[in-house]
A and B are shown apart, each in its own frame.
Chain A
Amino acid sequence: MKTRKLLSLVLAIAMLLSVAGVATAETAVADLPRNETLYFGGQQWGTVNSWNPVGTNQNNAMGTTTNPSGSRTIMFETLYMFNLLDGSMVPLLAEGDPVWADDLSTVTVTLNDAAKWSDGTAVTSNDVIRTWEISLQLNNTAGANYGPFIESIEAVDDLTFTINLAKNEEGTPVNPLKVEDFLVATFVAQAAWLDTLEERNGGDTVAMLNDEALDAPYTGPYGPYVSNDQLVAFVRNDNYWGQDESMWGKLPVPKYIAHTIYADNAVTEVAFRQGEIDVGQIFVPNVQDLWEEEGLPVSGYMMEEPYGICLTMPTAWYNLNNPVLQDATLRKAIAIAVDYDAIIENAITNQSPTFEEVPRSCMNPTEVEQAMYDHEAVADLQWTGNDVEGAIAMLEEAGYVDTNGDGWRETPDGEEITLTAVCPNGWTDWQAAIELVAAAGANIGINITTVYPESSTYSTVYSNPNQTEYDIFMQSPDGAGPSQPWGRIRQFMSSDFVGLENNFSGNYGQYSNERIDEILELIPITTDEEELKALYTEAVEIYLTDVPSFSLMYRPQFFHFVNESVWTNFPYDGDGTNIPPTDCTDGYGIAALYNLQLVEG
């Protein structure tokens, strides 16, 4: 009896401890009713840091994510929303299309006169200008990213403003494409609040960037509701300006938007299977089993492989600091020997189109980008992989033979070749892919060993322009956006990145080609469709000839799977809504929130 009493006592104390421990930190808020809440998964990891529209490190995935392929506009809003399905820019805070000057030196935008802040005041040109000025002052992501391309923003009147583009020595605008990125990617913050922010932090840059900003007025349909270790939730602002006929004409359906904070992918997957998550940005291996085998009410954007839209392509980069890899023949030989079908099937379980379906280029698999270059013109340069004989023939012809009898080929000069293929530890699909690259090497007699350092070690090494430790390493180029695929071509081949310290941006392998640099300067200021297509085709031709890097698979920038246990009417391929599968929040994808319905019964 005594032990039993002791047992129950200990248990009771434990319970009280745990409850009290967490309860003290938070004030009680009503629970979220399931049929009024849309749950997300796979976006928010760890607790939210801040709600600061001009800060950095907010770790607020649902509230403050900006990206040219679709900024997340549930709380703060952008001027335009990018629709990656057709590459269009849909007005949000703006009204009508941006008006470009003929020489592309300025662009004028008019704001929607219905647009209001959550405190009821109107959105004005001054808000846009003040946000831009503070971004430059703080050098936050927006400031750092677009500063080189925008000279100034001037108000025309309360609702109209003009962006003057930065110009190069010849007086031509540096890059109108990046300014389009700016229009879809950056949030507008309230000028009056920005003054408050500056004042209360005494103008200190770091303090301003890290300000929690829970008081920041927003224009979007949702505002902060709950935020703790386990959950972040937003509540609908029923006075949202977008109810105006000039915008959506109604409120988004769910009253709450919530994201439970899970420890890792596996736990997120459990919750998604059980219908605790409605919209999952998660990689579920063999996702088709969920509906085919287990009969769960789960679907992707498409019902057949690859089940979603891929926007990027994890790519293996050659490090040209290694003299051996300066020979394009060797680079191409390895690339054509890799078994891409196996990578696509094992690493990403067919959630990528194959390279037969979408031939390799610098373009992502969306129709918009695929239409930008001439497939026929580069058809001879294509490869679909696993061409071991072809690769061997190529090497033999170029004089790569095993002269010292160790089973591995040497260079034509008789130098030994040992290459290390690297990606960060724990990135499962990349590791599986890198393994297959090494296997391809073994098949054609090139010695490739794999190494998986911790990701911070990895970042330290690959970003160093003089590194010679990693010969083949993985990195993904950017996804969609108005400036793509120009931006991606630049990431693959621009010499802007050569010799750059702490280079996390592109051309990590130090490739350079004068013609590519010219093409990269021409594309942003070329408006003629045919001319543009010729330039893009030429860039792809150079990319496939020189092989400075080679893509291993395609991959969604964001996975988009939905569990229709509670909500239905999510966008799907062929539903006629033209809403992109961007987790109902990014860019024009947010339109999905206005169409949702509760599942009957």
Chain B
Amino acid sequence: MKNTLRQVFHSPKFLVGFIIFVAVLLLAILYPLFNPGNPLQQIGLGTFAPPGTYVSLYDAVGTETSTFRLDDADAKRLASVLSDEDRVSMVNWLTAVGVDVTGLDITDTDALLEIWNANYDQSIRPEGMTNAQRNSYISLNNRLQSLGASETLTVMQPDEEGEMEEVTDIESTDYVNVGDVTNVITLPLGTDNFGRDVLKELASAIGTSLMIGLVAGCIATFIGLVLGLLSGYVGGVLDDIVMFITNIFTVIPSFVLLILINYSIGQENRGAMVVALVIGLTSWTWTTRSVRSQVISLRNRDHVNLSKLSGHSLVRIVLTDILPYIASYVVMAFILQISSAILSEAQLSLLGLGPKTTEVPTLGLMMNWAMLYSAHLGGKWWAYFPVIGVIALISFSLNLMNTGLDQVFNPTLRD
């Protein structure tokens, strides 16, 4: 046993797979420790906040400031409001309404603004301009108005009589140290359509999905093992009955069964574990078949016959003389069951037949909601790409481990 384990861990494929798997698992276990709380809590008002560190503007106002005179700060600030393209389109608008712009240097911000402010009127819509363009000019114009304001911003607050009272001034050279601001939140993967922290949700979803995989895998392997052993070892009528059922369910795609069963259960009854149970109950046939064929080849071996002659009970023969020989096989089948169960959950959720939405996050549900709120169309990669990546990694690592095991247990495959 010890020897086998050492061999297994010497297989580079198994090792790489194992490391990836453990890394994913650790994320699921450790992240909630660093960042406790309900993963489904809607922290953000609004959808799909991009990844990054968010500093409380409210707290930042009261925080002690340092002054830095950076050469390019003003230019950056200006460029963020008025890009080069904006300048060109301003000139386009002016030309379209017949303003003479000859000799105007568009890099000269003051001159450009002056002529713009003198001529722009949002009620004018030049011939051939679309409403979308008109809207973009209006919002450009609104942005430009903030440029005209004085360098210093004043923060005010109404006092008891409702009079505005100055709280503080903010200079363009004022900076605060992020570490000094009381409320700072880092969202490595932003928020989703509900305003939930995606990484936190992902960590929890990995846990649930692995759990679904584990439960479904255990159920499928258990049923497959028991039926396979019985039908292979006992044979006869029992074998015929088991194989009859197994044959039927091998050919009817389990995906179809999953859809039909999950549909008939109804959304309100589909907890994550119910889905795992259904997946497990529909995916045992493969294990049954292979265990059975292995057992048949084993059952007439000498050591089994010896046990039989010694009058050992059926249970004992199966446990001591047969099971150890097929154990490696069963472990490998079990690993594959886990990865296919995780995939099944994800596919079902995409069809709207996954676990109910609000109890626990799962990888499939995260994907489903990201699709429903068209994250992939709006370039909100953080809402769906990590999910695909995690599913791929889990399935990749399990497959690698499986290949590694295969090579250990089937010496002819070794490099």
Q: B-contacting residues of A (Cβ < 8 Å)? A: 265-266, 269-270, 273, 284-286, 289, 291-292, 294-299, 303, 341-342, 345-346, 349-350, 425-426, 428, 431-432, 435-436, 438-439, 450-454, 457, 562, 564, 568-570, 572, 599-600
In the complex, what residues of B have CB within 8 A of residue A294's CB? 379
In the bound complex, how far is the Cα of B193 from the Cα of A342, in angstroms? Answer: 12
Q: Are B128 and A299 in contact (CB under 8 A)?
A: no
Q: List 23 A-B contacts (CB under 8 A).
A: A266-B372, A266-B376, A266-B377, A273-B377, A295-B136, A296-B132, A297-B133, A299-B131, A341-B45, A342-B42, A342-B195, A345-B45, A346-B42, A350-B46, A425-B357, A435-B42, A435-B194, A436-B42, A451-B356, A454-B263, A454-B266, A568-B131, A599-B130
Least distance between B336 CB and chain A CB atoms (Å): 28
In the complex, what residues of A have CB within 8 A of residue B371's CB? 266
User: For the complex, would chain B's binding face be called helix, strand, loop or mixed by DSSP majority?
Assistant: loop
Q: Which of B138, B356, B357, B369 has the most CB of A within 10 A?
A: B357
Q: Are A266 and B132 in contact (CB under 8 A)?
A: no
Q: B105 on the interface (CB 8 Å rule)?
A: no
Q: B268 on the interface (CB 8 Å rule)?
A: yes
Q: B358 on the interface (CB 8 Å rule)?
A: yes
Least distance between B117 CB and chain A CB atoms (Å): 20
In the complex, what residues of B have CB within 8 A of residue A600's CB? 128
Least distance between A577 CB and chain B CB atoms (Å): 12
Query: What 1/0 mask marks residues of chain B from 373 to 415 whose CB sits below 8 Å from any chain A CB?
Result: 1101111000000000000000000000000000000000000
Q: Are B378 and A289 in contact (CB under 8 A)?
A: yes
Chain B: CB-nearest residue to A564: B130
Q: Are A346 and B132 in contact (CB under 8 A)?
A: no
Q: Are B266 and A285 in contact (CB under 8 A)?
A: no
Q: Are B378 and A425 in contact (CB under 8 A)?
A: no
In the complex, what residues of B have CB within 8 A of residue A341's CB? 45
Q: Are A286 and B47 in contact (CB under 8 A)?
A: yes
Least distance between A333 CB and chain B CB atoms (Å): 21
A-B interface, 8 closest residue pairs, ranked by CB to CB distance from nearest: A564-B130, A297-B132, A568-B130, A303-B135, A600-B128, A299-B132, A425-B267, A451-B268
Query: A428, A436, A599: which contacts B373 (Cβ < 8 A)?
Result: A428
In the bound complex, how far is the Cα of B135 from the Cα of A297, in angstroms? Answer: 10
In the bound complex, how far is the Cα of B374 from the Cα of A273, in angstroms? Answer: 12
In the complex, what residues of A have CB within 8 A of residue B133's CB? 297, 564
* Given A286-B378, A291-B135, A453-B267, A346 contacting B357 (CB threshold 8 A): no
Q: B139 on the interface (CB 8 Å rule)?
A: yes
Least distance between A561 CB and chain B CB atoms (Å): 10
Q: Are B47 and A572 in contact (CB under 8 A)?
A: no
Least distance between B53 CB and chain A CB atoms (Å): 20
Q: Are B47 and A570 in contact (CB under 8 A)?
A: no
Query: B139, B369, B372: which contacts A292 (Cβ < 8 A)?
Result: B139
Q: Are A457 and B42 in contact (CB under 8 A)?
A: no
Q: Are A572 and B131 in contact (CB under 8 A)?
A: yes
- Within B47-90, the residues touching A (CB, 8 Å) are 47-48
Chain B: CB-nearest residue to A574: B123
Q: Are A286 and B194 in contact (CB under 8 A)?
A: no
Q: Are B46 and A349 in contact (CB under 8 A)?
A: yes
In the complex, what residues of B have CB within 8 A of residue A342's CB? 42, 45, 195
Chain A: CB-nearest residue to B358: A450
Least distance between B396 CB and chain A CB atoms (Å): 27
Query: A289, A299, A454: which contacts B135 (Cβ < 8 A)?
Result: A299
In the bound complex, how far is the Cα of B373 from the Cα of A233, in angstroms? Answer: 29
Query: B136, B194, B356, B376: which contacts A291 (Cβ < 8 A)?
Result: B136
Least distance between B188 CB and chain A CB atoms (Å): 21
* Given A285-B47, A291-B136, A453-B267, A432 contacting B194 (CB threshold 8 A): yes
Chain B: CB-nearest residue to A432: B194
Q: Are A452 and B132 in contact (CB under 8 A)?
A: no
- Within B113-150, the residues touching A (CB, 8 Å) are 128, 130-133, 135-136, 138-139
Q: B352 on the interface (CB 8 Å rule)?
A: yes
Q: Are B132 and A298 in contact (CB under 8 A)?
A: yes
* Given A266-B374, A269-B377, A452-B357, A346 contacting B130 (CB threshold 8 A): no
In the bound complex, how far is the Cα of B128 from the Cα of A432, in angstroms? Answer: 41
In the complex, what residues of B have CB within 8 A of residue A285's CB? 47-48, 193, 373-374, 378
Query: A265, A296, A297, A425: which contacts B374 (Cβ < 8 A)?
Result: A265
